[in-house]
Every structure is written in structure tokens, then in C-alpha cells.
Structure 1
Amino acid sequence: MSEPKTPTPAGDTYKGWVFKWTNYIKGYQRRWFVLSNGLLSYYRTQAEMGHTCRGTINLATATITVDDACNFVISNGGAQTYHLKASCEVERQRWITALELAKAKAACMQAESDDSGDDFSPSSPPVAHGQGGRTQNSEVQSALRTLGSKVEDLSTCNDLISKHGSALQRSLSELDSLRLTGEAGDKIRQVTERATLFRITSNAMINACRDFLALAQAHSKRWQKALQAERDQRVRLEETLEQLAKQHNNLERAFRGAAQANATADNKSSAGPGKGEASDEDDDNEFFDAMEEAPEFITVPADPHFHKRSNSNISGFNSEMCPDDQSLNEEPLVMNQESPSQELILLKKRRTRIPDKPNYSLNLWSIMKNCIGKELSKIPMPVNFNEPISMLQRLSEDLEYHELLDKASKCQSSLEQMCYVAAFSVSSYSTTVYRTGKPFNPLLGETYELDRRRESGYRSLCEQVSHHPPAAAHHAISDRGWTLRQEITVASKFRGKYLSIMPLGTIHAIFEKGNNHYTWKKVTTTVHNIIVGKLWIDQSGEIDVVNHTTGDRCHLKFAPYSYFSRDVARKVTGVVMDKDGKAHYVLSGTWDEKMEFSRVMQSSRGGENGTEGKQKTVYQTLKAREVWRRNPLPEGAETMYYFTALALTLNELEEGVAPTDSRRRPDQRLMEDGRWEEANSEKQRLEEKQRSVRREREREAASQRTSSQSEEAVDEDSLTDPSLKSAPHDSYQALWFERCEDRITGEQIHIYKGGYWEAKDRGSWEGCPDIF
């Protein structure tokens, strides 16, 4: 039976049957090879393409070697080597050309990805007004990318033609100098082979030129129209802005004149708001409609007279709440009023450096290609992908900006307090901008304490309370009047190009003053460029911070990254509302840098300028004030896993901690010291020990259930006893936390039951399991 011919390369994909060397028993076996996007993959049959890939090589780092006759070899440095054989010499030359083209393009793409961490280009042209402008811009950008790809094809083909042409010339020269001897036949065959290769490459370049010209002709007129439309739109926008500036000046002068002319506060109230509302409508209908992405609400500056007039009813705030603004910008709290000099002497000096991260190379695709669709916690990962802290320590990092909770505990107003709590919920993501390493999965029963009572007035305890699914319970209490508790379960999926991490669970913040109880959840974290390019992290989703005592609510929105958006990256916006839905504060900023708040003086509904005909709310606000700003990274953080000043101290050895504390974990300690090979061996030992303990615990639970059922007579009551029907296979119980139902959310959670700090004071750890 004759082999089917390899199809002509179409675009970036090349497919066909090739014989692959398997072993000395079976020899060469026919396999279906697919070349796409710089990756060469093979399958036993074409039907396997949808579900089972037998192997993949990234051509960006591979070498292509031509053997005698129809054979050729592809290798990526010894880890993977394919010995292949085509059905004929011409077929082999077609594969060689396609492979070299794909290798050149893959190397170029990898170099570009290493130079720029993300695809955002700040110098990209502005997008035209409305949906039509976005469509035109998208078409132009798509056409430019396609043409750029064709230009790269032309350049690569040109290089190959030059290379093969030189080789052909040398062979022809050698042939001319030879006499008709036994070597003549070999040289003639070599010349014929290279001539065939040169012809195939020339045809590829001719096809690329034809595609380039066809695209240029097809899009030439469209580009001219799009560019002209952009110019016209820009002129119209400039004229509109000039008219708006004039109208603003006229309105401002008219408002000032009306305010001076009226003698009483009632006349001021009746004159001022009317003009203010008209101004808002103009701003909404004319200026903000030109925004590319329609926001949920719009904020405009309120006139300064609003917060100076105590008798005004427009703002919705009375004069008694004005002092709250002053407390939002108060000085940092004094840590200890009694004997400050003595307290400073007793403070422990924390470390400011850890060993630099070693430069170990690792083939990520060889590990991750068989893990697509699986949960991250069930994938055996080497420490090369980790950072030298556990998930319990990473959870404790949420307290880096505990000062926000300290200030919130002193607030007189629950609405003002909500601003600080909302900013605290955003601040926990600031440490994830550059932190692409994966924390160690805690062992069941592993704990971590963070005692900062002397320095900052709080102490925190985390415990791994479940292994499948992995769940960690956290409890922190402060001498300054607040308690923070949470139980987080991380669900994650590897999607090939990106990794999605979905934290499940509720965070609780309780304040002694006013007995305010807040809850919120975390948003989704996405790690991009898992296989090729520079890793970068994005946060997206929505958070509702709810005060269950007063009914106040803050809705925060984390905008996902968009290549076409002109808005600031990593943007977060939110509105603080009371139980009646009235807005009091507007929050804005970014989750990696800072958050600001503005007091709402007046709100109104705008026109139908939102998506799907929804009306946008216009908030008149006072000047924005900063409520939170990210701390700068320590010097040399890029060589220390981009750890913050707090993160550098988390794994520092301390006396008196529990034997289950993450600081005592040997594989994590070895990794921090740079001994990664030993760390990998120790990690496998600990995981196997954990599995054996779990199997033993399940056997004991099954044995107890069997003996219990055999001793008692089977009657009607025992048949209806739910404990006999659905007893859990794993009877593990946490040591410092107990499982119960949360009275606020109704969820089954683990709450700290006490005893840890007392055991530490006694130095008594008899109940701790041996997990290391």
C-alpha cells in the first residue's frame, strides 16, 4: 500500500505520515506528525489528535540534522530526540523546509516575548469613538499582524534561499572539478537533492510574496478610509472639548454670580443645585460618552461650596459627619504608649535578605503537557516552580497592611470604616504582581504562627485542616480591637496557555468597637504565558464587602486586562453604600499600587449610555484622598523571588514554635538554601509519608465502623442512624480549629478553638502530630 502524500503546508500547520524509530524490536513505525505554532507533535493515528498526544518538541530550542538517504533527526539537547525517516527524498526535503521555517519563527517569537512581559503597547493608536471605531481598529490591527507575519516569512525564506543557493553553487563547482570516477554518481545525487530543496524553498517564498501582495491590495483602500475616519473623529473631539471648556467657564461664572447675589442659604441651595445638575447632564451626554469602555458609574468633581455649607441637604450628609474626613488622614498609630524605649529594646531584629534564587533550567512543557485540565494541587511539581514559603505563610501575608484594620477600628462612622476594610481586601493582591512562584502545598496538620504582638499588636495562626480538598484555616487577633478569620480552599485548573486559581471561602473581619462584622470573598487569579513567554499575573472579578451589623455594602470590581483598553491596567473601582442603597464614598485605584476614596456629595442617573441601554450613575465627589499605597520592594528583590520585606521574615527560624510549623519543614528549608535537588527528594519523602499516614487512618476508621456495627444488633434505629450510613473515610480532626457552621454565612468552616498560644507559653506540644 502506497503512503499518502504529505499535504502542502497551509499557514503555520504542516501534517503528514513519517516513520519514527521506536526500538530495536519494532524498528521504524509509521506515525502521524503535526507541525503547528513552532511545536512538532506526533500521534499513532489521525484519530488520536483530539485526545492523546504521544510527544511534543518545541522547535525554538531544537536542532535539525539531516542523515543519509531519507533520514533526519530532531533533538532539543538530549531530553527528547526523534529519529525520523520519510517515504522518499523529496518528501524529506519538504519536511526539512517546513521544520526550518517553523524553527525560525518560533525562535523569533520567543525572543520578542522575552523582551516584553505582556502584549500591551502604550504607544498603540487611539481607538475611534463608539463600536464602529473599535471594529475598524481591530481590523487594522489584525491586518497589520497578518502582514507582519508574512514579512517574517519572506525574510526567513530569503535566508534559506541564500543558504541553500550557496550550498548548491559549491556542489556544482565540485562537480565541475571531478572526473568521471566512482564518486561522480554520489555528487550528482547530492546536486539533485539540493536543487530539489532550493526549488521547494523558492516556491514557498513565491507563495508568501503572492499572499503578501494580495493582502496589501485587499486592505489598502480599507486602511485609507479607516485612517481618514480617525482623523475626522479626532478633529470632532477637539472641537467638542473646546466647546465644553467654554461652557464650563460660563457655567462656573454664572454659578459664582448666583451664589454671591443670593443672601440666604435657602436661596443658595435652590440656585446652586439646578446649575450643578445641568452641568452633570452635559458632562455625561457629551464628554463621558466618548470613553471606549463604558464604566458602571461616572465621578465628576463637586463644587467646593457643597461641603462648606452645613445647612445644605443636597449632599445627603449633615455637618456631624465632616470630622470623619480628618480621621482618614490621621498619623500612624503609636505602637506602645507605655515605656516606648523599653519596648524598642525588646523588639527582635528581623532579617532583610535570603539566599539568592539559583538559576536552574527546566523544561516546563515536558512536565505540564500531560497535566492539562487537572487540578494544580494534584500535580506532582518539582520545587523549581515553587517559592520557599508555604501556602500558610502566603495566607499570613494578607496581614502586611494590617494598619488599615488598625485605622478602621478607630473610625466613628461605619461607612468610613468600610472604606478601610475595602482597601484592606484589595491590598492583599499587591504582593502577586511579580510573584509567579507557587507556594508549597501544606501537609495535613501543618501550622504557621506569625507573632507580631510586640511590633504591631497582632498575632496570627494558620493550620492545614484538610488535604483533599486542600483547605487552610486562619485566625488573627489584634490588641487594637479587630479579629480576622478565614478558611480558604484553592481550586485551580491548568488550561494550557494560562492557569486559573479560584480561592473558595469567606473572609471575616470583626471589630470590637460597634461590633461591626464584615465578610467578603477573593477574586480569581490568572497566570498567563505558562508555556511560552514571560509569566504575568492578572486579577479579575467582583467583591462584595458586606457589614452584617449595619447593612452597609461596598461593591468592588477588578477589571480584567484588555489589550485594546486605554484604561489604566489592574484597575479597581467601588462604591460604598448604606443599607438603603445610597452611595456615600467612591473608591478607585489599582490592586498593585494604591487606592483612593472620594466622598459622594450628590448622585444622579445619566442617559442610556451604558451597555445594553443601562443608565450610568453620575457621582459628584469631593477631592480624592489616598487610603492605601503599596510598600516598595526591598533592594535586590528580583533575586529573592520578589519577596516583600514581610515575606523575607516569614521563614526565619524562631524558638518556641510548634513542631508542625512551616519554618521546620525540611524541603522548604533546603530550597531556601539553594539545595534544590535535595529539596526535591525530601519533598517526595514527605508526600509519601503523608499518603501512608492517610491510608492507615482510613484503615483504622473502617475497622472501627465494622466492629461497631457487628457488636450492636441491627434494629430499626440503627438502620436510620446517619452516622452508620455516611461515616467519613478520613476521620482526621484539626488540632487547633474545630468544624462548625458559621452563623453569618451558614457555611461549614473551621474556627479557632484556642489553646495554641497557651501551649506555646508552656512549651508543651504533646498533641502535635509528627508530619516532618
Structure 2
Amino acid sequence: MSEPKPPTPTPAGDTYKGWVFKWTNYIKGYQRRWFVLSNGLLSYYRTQAEMGHTCRGTINLATASIAVDDACNFVISNGGTQTYHLKASCEVERQRWITALELAKAKAARMQAESDDSGDDFSLSCPPAPHGQSAAAASQNSEVQSTLRTLASKVEDLSTCNDLISKHGSALQRSLSELDSLRLTGEAGDKIRQVTERATLFRITSNAMINACRDFLALSQAHSKRWQKALQAERDQRIRLEETLEQLAKQHNNLERAFRGNSQSNTTLDSKGSAGPGKGEASDDDDDNEFFDAMEEAPEFITVPADPQFHKRSSSNVSGFNSEMGSDDQSLNEEPLSANQDSPSLDLVPVKKRRSRIPDKPNYSLNLWSIMKNCIGKELSKIPMPVNFNEPISMLQRLSEDLEYHELLDKGAKCGSALEQLCYVAAFSISSYSTTVHRTGKPFNPLLGETYELDRGRESGYRSLCEQVSHHPPAAAHHVISSRGWTLRQEITVASKFRGKYISIMPLGTIHAIFEKGDNHYTWKKVTTTVHNIIVGKLWIDQSGEIDVVNHTTGDRCHLKFAPYSYFSRDVARKVTGLVTDKDGKAHYVLSGTWDEKMEFSRVMQSSRGSSSGSGAAGENGAAEARQKTVYQTLKAREIWHKNALPERAETMYFFTELALTLNEAEEGVAPTDSRQRPDQRLMEAGRWDEANAEKQRLEEKQRSVRREREREAASLRTSSQSEEGTAVEEDIFTDPALKSVPHDSHKALWFDRCDDPITGEPVHIYNGGYWEAKDTGTWEGCGDIF
């Protein structure tokens, strides 16, 4: 049943539910719980999803006492061991609960008294089953009896309303009779007589309605036994079918095993090996262990379903849109190796089998506070951290992990409409955060000049290259080229602060996605990541902020909002909403979902602002307030992105995804500066953390000494230049004010050139080419010795 509309609560026979804060203990204080009031019982759960399987506690209101503490607090106790100290979000909400609880208590007490008088136990437990009748059948009988009792309760409520109508109707008739006794003449007297007649007809009609309800209840009670027999017959038939299917499944399994055994023996006799049967067995195991996440309904955005007239009026456009989106999906599934169209020679090379496991994470204890207490206010990249806080991949590999859902860009590259393409790009920008929900470990800070390649040209059609181009501030340049019609590039600088209770990580820099089809160029930035409970409690991660995905070719824009988590919010956690508009500000698509699970999008058919009924373009005046008040009528939402399931036992492998498990896998032919060659990271992955810590300190000290030498060389060059111009230099080169302009980090990237971005105007590093050619020839002369 639907939830009650304030301020009148739902009657006790119906369901009243909502979030209420419940006192747990002095450490955790009040915690938000989901309470359900139904059939005189008040139950609570941790989340709404628990309603189907785990109830945390129940109080029978028939014998409970309800007390009010203050404006928002109230207490429910059964006089024994159960006492709930509750707190509503506001005084109005508390009053609604108190009203609903009092009504439910009165009704439960009345029904219990009636059931005691009639010898029938009115409770939620099933009545004793008759001899020879199953417990399930008894439960079904109890269900029917409960339905009949509910109907009787409703009829009783109608009877009460009828008595009130009769009472007020009689008073109305007396008042009318008094008016009639005044002997009014003319039109006034006629009006009084008309009102008297209508009041009488109303009373007769209400009595007839009550009598009809009583007849309906009597008829339901008369046919209840027949309903119970029909339900029992259906249940028995279903049980017989289930038993038959179970026997067939067992026989089929036995035949399949016998067939595999014969095939294996025959294969052994023929000296062919057992590869075929082995694969078959593994496939069966995978099928048995296959797991699917439960789909949750995403909360409604500021949208309403469009009127049927819009479906009809735009049926051609909508059908074309849906068919195009469907064709995208099919074409991507039918052409998994489209990347090889330009490279026929690669067809002769089998796809490399990637690893699916890494060594389990060891359980090392560490005094966190002894390390962190002196680091408050410092930048996270400058804090010397042991590997205990890390995960065995570098920041360059973590950046490459943004390509987990590269299929979204593949689909976007095939879109005929720039607005549809923008939806896929927006979903791709959100999907990069899904891998962080359980990943509380810190990636290794890359060394200056460190690189990382991710060559998935044969499997997925793209090649990715990252290079650490700056150390202070730490900055990484990333370039991805795909044979499926898109290019991705970014330069990310991470600014982070430790605030005692949490760490804020602010990625700075712009991400670019360029598509060959339509020559569309998109840019966006990343939101802030916050790691909570650094000192005490369980670590958890949240994303918050806003993103504007802009198409610089057409002027289209998608505004995404990542809602920060709040204990007092009734919205789903990790919620993301978005709106796709064209260059004129007219809305075309609405996106809704969560950054850790899935995203949906729906096409806007009409929009109206405020209480006006006319349609208008969203964001017409550019004001955020107007956009919030706009109501969008949309077609049915469709899923555009869904998170991939984690590998089995991912919790023992740093919660890595299938892609993340392969990032640090040893690979031949990579550059000597590649993150896979990094010794401390390799030792940590193998579980040798003490050796990894020692190696990490060695690498960091080596990097510091190289940087000091580079600064001395830069200062010497500057001093020599001034001497040639006749300028006497008598002071120490490190204290000379003229040398303050010497850059602290004069490092020049090897595979990226520094320039001004033609789109944003920001100073960035753009790929200069040559890496993949150097890999083909195996010549790495330009790479430094950083490990």
C-alpha cells in the first residue's frame, strides 16, 4: 500500500512506514532505521532491502505504552524487555507517527479483545493446522482469514462513518425544519425543501452502501472455504511439478556426467588430451556459481511519464532512436574484434590469456595514529606512507582503470546524434568512480618519468599510455587511441589534504574525448573524492560535486550532480542526476542513477516550469533555481550503464576488478620505466611488505638525489649565463634572489610535450608519438634509470 499523506496517518490495519532514528548505544548514538507499522505490530530494519529477510525487532502495540519525551523524541515500550527510544526528523513527522501508533494500538487492542471473546487467536502467527493439513496450507488459510478480518474492519469503519453521517444528517434536518417553521415563502422556501429532500436521499444512499458492504462481506465468508480448497489444489499441483522437474534435472545431470566420462575416456585412449571435457566442466561450474546483483529501482528525478499523445506524436522519432540504440548494442556484441580490421596480421596472434587472481592481501597490524598525528594539514603526496596503506598498483595504473567501461565510448562513436553521444560520454565519466566504492587503499605515487602502457588493441581496440610528467605538484599525462573511432586524453594533478577525520582528494585537470564521427570534442573535470573515518571506524569513500560535460563542437552540455552522502537524506546513497541540453538550453535527456551501481537515461518530450502548464525550454534563462523547478515529461527510462560484478573473493584481493587484476601482470617488451617493473610495488603484491617498505624508501631517496642534482645543474646554467653577460655573482647560488626564478622541477617528459591546450587554454602535456614505435623496435635509449 502507498504511504500516508500528511498530516493524516494511515489506519492501523494498513501499512505506515518511514525512516526514524533509533537509539542504539552510547558509542553510536542514534542510528537511522526503517520502521514499518502493520497489523498492530511495529517492526524495524536497517534498510528497506532487509524487509524481505531480516527483521531487527518487533513490538506488539496492543500491550505497548507510548510516551513523548520532547519535540522530536518518543518512547515505545511493552513493559518488559523491549523499549525503543526513537527520534523523528522534525516535530511534524513525530506527530504523524504518534497519531498512527495510537490508532494502531487502539485497533489492535479492540481486535484482540474480540478474538479472545470468540475463541479465535487474532495474531500474525499461523493457527494450528488441522490433521493432515500442511503448514503451508494452514498459512494460506490464515491469509484468507486475515483478509476477511481486514474486510470486516473496513466495513466496521464504514459503519462508523455511516453513524456519523446519520448523526450530522439528523442535525441538518432539524436545522432545516426550524427554517421551514419560519414559514418562509417564495424562492427561499423552495430552496429549503430541495435541500431537505437531498439530505434525506443522501442518508438513504449511505445506508444502502453500508448494507451492500455487509452483503459483500457475508458473501466472501460464505465462499472462503471454496477459495481455500482451490488454493490448496494449486499448491499441491505446483509441488508435484517441482518434484517432477527436480527428478528430470537429476536424471539429466547423471546422463551428462556419464557422457563426459565416456568422452574423456575415449579422448585419453586416442591420446588427444582432456582439454575439451575440462572446459566443459569449468563451464558448468561457472554456470552454477554465476551471480547477479539485485536490480534496484532508481528514485525518480524531476521527471514525470510523458502523456500518451507524445508517444504517438513522436512515434517515428522515438522508434528510430530506440532502434539506433539497440543497433549500437548489437553491433558492438557482433564485432568484438573490430579493432583488427586495420591490422590483418594480428588475426594470426591468439588473444593473450590474462590472470584472474593475485596473492591474497596479508593481515598486518599498524599503529595508524602514531603515523598520522604529525601529518594533519600537510599535502598527502608529501607524507611518507608505508605500503600498509597502499594497494599494489600505481596512480598511473589507477588512471588507466578509467577504461574499465570503454564500451560506452565505443557505443558513443557509433551514434548518429551528438546528443545521444553526449549521454554515453556522461555515463563514461560517471563509470570511472564505480571502481572506488570499496577501494580504500592508496595507489603508489609514481616516480618522475615513470610510465605505464595498457595495450588492449586486439581485445578491445585501444592502446593507453600514461607518464608521470611532474613530481611537485604530482601530475600524470594520459593518452588513449582507439581504432573504434575515439581518442581520450587527460592530464590529472591531484591535490589532497588530511583533515584528521577524513582525507579530501581534489583531482585537477581536464579530460578530453574526441570522436572521429562528427568531429565532436568533449571536455569535463573530475569531482572531489573523500575518504572518511581515517582514525576511528570503518573507512568509506564518497564522491561529491558537479561535472559539466561540454561538446565544444555543437555547444551541447550535460550537467551532472553527485549528491554527497547524508545521514538525514531520504534519497538513495551515491545518487547522481544529470540533464542533457543543447546550445539553446533546451532539455533533451535526463540521466539518473548511482555512481557505484548503474545509470539510466530517458528522453524528454516536454518540460514545464513551476506551476505553469505551458512547455518551455529547461534552463531558458540560465538560472539554477528555474532549472530546479522545471518538470520534465519523459519516455520510459532505459539503462545505459551497469557496474560489472567483482571477481570471486575480491575482498582478499584489495577489491580489484577483473581489469585491475591484470594491470600489474608482468609483460614482455614494455618500457624499463613501466610501473610493472617497479620493485617495491612488485614485492607488495607478492605479500613481502617489509621488503617492499625498504625498497620504497630506497626509490624515494634515489628520486630526491636525482632531483637535487637536476636543481644544481639548472642553477649552474643560470649562473654561467649571468657570468657571460658580465654580471658578478658573489653570493651563494641558493640564496641569490635572481635564482628564485629557476624552476624547481626542470624535468622534460619523454613521450609528452608541454603546450597550451587549444580548447581550454590550460598548460598541458600532449602525446608526441613514438612510444609504440619504440616498443615495436625494442629501442628504449631515451628512458631514464628510475628503478
TM score, norm. by length of structure 1 = 0.61
Which of the numbers 346, 360, 365 marks the counterpart of 2:364?
A: 360
1:663 alignment counterpart: 676
1:227 positional shift: 3.5
Alignment of 1:214-363 (within 5 A): 227-231=94-98, 298-310=302-314, 323-327=323-327, 329-333=329-333, 334-336=335-337, 343=347, 346-363=350-367
Cα distance in 1 for residues equivalent to 2:603 and 2:769: 41
1:726 positional shift: 3.3
1:226 positional shift: 6.2
1:763 alignment counterpart: 778
| Residues 509-528 of structure 1, C-alpha deviations (whole Å, 9 max, x = no match) | 00011100000000000111
Which amino acid counterpart does residue 743 of structure 2 have in structure 1?
A: P
1:224 positional shift: 9.6
Distance change (3 Å), C-alpha of 1:234 and 1:394: farther
Which of the numbers 683, 690, 699 marks the counterpart of 1:677?
A: 690
1:222 positional shift: 13
Which amino acid counterpart does residue 332 of structure 2 have in structure 1?
A: P
Which of the numbers 504, 519, 526 marks the counterpart of 2:508?
A: 504
Distance change (3 Å), C-alpha of 1:477 and 1:222: closer
Cα distance in 1 for residues equivalent to 2:405 and 2:507: 20
Which amino acid counterpart does residue 751 of structure 1 have in structure 2?
A: I
Secondary structure, counterpart of 1:456 in structure 2: coil
User: Which sections of structure 2, spanning at least 5 residues, go unmatched?
Assistant: 1-24, 37-43, 46-67, 76-84, 104-298, 613-622, 729-736
Cα distance in 2 for residues equivalent to 1:587 and 1:473: 30
Which amino acid counterpart does residue 366 of structure 1 have in structure 2?
A: S
2:487 alignment counterpart: 483
- Contact conserved, 1:300 with 1:618, CA < 8 A, in 2? yes
Cα distance in 2 for residues equivalent to 1:138 and 1:443: 60
Asked if residue 433 in structure 1 is aligned to residue 434 in structure 2, the reply is no
Which amino acid counterpart does residue 228 of structure 1 have in structure 2?
A: Q
Asked if residue 563 in structure 1 is aligned to residue 564 in structure 2, the reply is no
Distance change (3 Å), C-alpha of 1:550 and 1:119: farther
Secondary structure, counterpart of 1:454 in structure 2: coil
Cα distance in 2 for residues equivalent to 1:612 and 1:221: 29
2:113 alignment counterpart: none
Asked if residue 702 in structure 1 is aligned to residue 676 in structure 2, the reply is no
1:470 positional shift: 0.3
1:713 positional shift: 4.5
Cα distance in 1 for residues equivalent to 2:102 and 2:756: 62
Which of the numbers 415, 419, 430 marks the counterpart of 1:415?
A: 419
Asked if residue 461 in structure 1 is aligned to residue 461 in structure 2, the reply is no
Distance change (3 Å), C-alpha of 1:723 and 1:573: farther
- Contact conserved, 1:742 with 1:749, CA < 8 A, in 2? yes
Distance change (3 Å), C-alpha of 1:141 and 1:485: farther
Cα distance in 2 for residues equivalent to 1:723 and 1:751: 31
| Residues 364-420 of structure 1, C-alpha deviations (whole Å, 9 max, x = no match) | 111111111111000000000000000000000000100000000000000000000
**What is the alpha-carbon root mean square deviation over aligned residues?**
3.7
Alignment of 1:605-624 (within 5 A): 605-607=609-611, 616-624=629-637
Which amino acid counterpart does residue 537 of structure 1 have in structure 2?
A: I
Distance change (3 Å), C-alpha of 1:225 and 1:725: closer
- Contact conserved, 1:483 with 1:510, CA < 8 A, in 2? yes
Which amino acid counterpart does residue 531 of structure 1 have in structure 2?
A: I
Which amino acid counterpart does residue 227 of structure 1 have in structure 2?
A: R
2:164 alignment counterpart: none
Cα distance in 1 for residues equivalent to 2:553 and 2:90: 59
Alignment of 1:87-236 (within 5 A): 121-123=33-35, 227-231=94-98
Secondary structure, counterpart of 1:477 in structure 2: strand
| Residues 170-196 of structure 1, C-alpha deviations (whole Å, 9 max, x = no match) | xxxxxxxxxxxxxxxxxxxxxxxxxxx
Which of the numbers 625, 637, 644 marks the counterpart of 1:631?
A: 644
- Contact conserved, 1:335 with 1:456, CA < 8 A, in 2? yes
Cα distance in 2 for residues equivalent to 1:529 and 1:554: 33
1:735 alignment counterpart: 750
Which of the numbers 374, 379, 384 marks the counterpart of 1:375?
A: 379
Which amino acid counterpart does residue 559 of structure 1 have in structure 2?
A: A
Cα distance in 1 for residues equivalent to 2:337 and 2:634: 37
Which amino acid counterpart does residue 380 of structure 1 have in structure 2?
A: P
1:138 positional shift: 13
Distance change (3 Å), C-alpha of 1:568 and 1:726: same
Cα distance in 1 for residues equivalent to 2:321 and 2:32: 43
1:46 alignment counterpart: none
Cα distance in 2 for residues equivalent to 1:222 and 1:582: 37
- Contact conserved, 1:297 with 1:618, CA < 8 A, in 2? no
Secondary structure, counterpart of 2:497 in structure 1: strand
Higher radius of gyration, 1 or 2: 2
Asked if residue 599 in structure 1 is aligned to residue 603 in structure 2, the reply is yes
Cα distance in 2 for residues equivalent to 1:476 and 1:425: 15
- The alignment-based identity, stated in percent, is 77
Secondary structure, counterpart of 1:352 in structure 2: coil
> Structure 1 stretch 758-767 or stretch 223-232: which is displaced more?
223-232
2:447 alignment counterpart: 443
Secondary structure, counterpart of 2:458 in structure 1: helix
Secondary structure, counterpart of 1:587 in structure 2: strand
Cα distance in 2 for residues equivalent to 1:741 and 1:463: 18
Cα distance in 2 for residues equivalent to 1:399 and 1:767: 28
1:551 alignment counterpart: 555
1:709 positional shift: 1.5
Asked if residue 387 in structure 1 is aligned to residue 402 in structure 2, the reply is no
Which amino acid counterpart does residue 337 of structure 2 have in structure 1?
A: N
| Residues 454-509 of structure 1, C-alpha deviations (whole Å, 9 max, x = no match) | 10000000000000000000000000010000000111111111111000000000
Which amino acid counterpart does residue 739 of structure 1 have in structure 2?
A: R
| Residues 625-682 of structure 1, C-alpha deviations (whole Å, 9 max, x = no match) | 0000000000010000000000000000000000000000000000000000000000
1:330 positional shift: 3.9
> Structure 1 stretch 303-312 or stretch 391-400: which is displaced more?
303-312
Secondary structure, counterpart of 2:715 in structure 1: helix
- Contact conserved, 1:336 with 1:343, CA < 8 A, in 2? no
Which of the numbers 757, 765, 768 marks the counterpart of 1:753?
A: 768
2:537 alignment counterpart: 533
Distance change (3 Å), C-alpha of 1:758 and 1:307: same
1:303 positional shift: 2.5
- Contact conserved, 1:606 with 1:616, CA < 8 A, in 2? yes
Which amino acid counterpart does residue 749 of structure 1 have in structure 2?
A: V
Distance change (3 Å), C-alpha of 1:711 and 1:377: same
Runs of 4+ displaced beyond 6 Å: 137-144, 219-226, 233-236, 317-320, 338-342, 610-614, 722-725
1:183 alignment counterpart: none
Distance change (3 Å), C-alpha of 1:754 and 1:611: closer
Cα distance in 1 for residues equivalent to 2:301 and 2:448: 46
- Contact conserved, 1:328 with 1:627, CA < 8 A, in 2? no
> Structure 1 stretch 651-660 or stretch 336-345: which is displaced more?
336-345
Asked if residue 452 in structure 1 is aligned to residue 453 in structure 2, the reply is no
Cα distance in 2 for residues equivalent to 1:336 and 1:542: 36
1:173 alignment counterpart: none
Cα distance in 2 for residues equivalent to 1:439 and 1:431: 13
Secondary structure, counterpart of 1:346 in structure 2: coil
> Structure 1 stretch 615-624 or stretch 637-646: which is displaced more?
615-624
